[in-house]
Amino acid sequence: MLGGLLLVTIHMAGVILIDFATFLVSLLTLSVVRFPLPPTSAEGRQGGGSLLQEAAYGWFYIKKRQGLLAC
């Protein structure tokens, strides 16, 4: 209901402006917060390398575990 009310009162341009402003606030928040790096596991070290190697390792990791492919 609030979305419909905003659309009627401030029109689509205003709704898009609010959406963009909230996006900027979230972007600023994420750029300020520091995320700690988790310790690297043995599987993580094994899968490291170039982007192509990491993608191939990820694919084989998922393929080995049939539960990850279940729909």
9, 18 Cβ separation under 8 angstroms: no
What does pTM read for this prediction? 0.52
Instruction: Average the pLDDT over 31-55 and give the result.
Output: 87
Residue 40: the pLDDT is 85
Instruction: Average the pLDDT over 45-66 and give the result.
Output: 87
Residue 71: the pLDDT is 65
Across the chain, what does the average pLDDT equal? 90
Instruction: Average the pLDDT over 10-25 and give the result.
Output: 96
Provide the Cα torsion 45, 47, 49, 55; round to 10°: -150
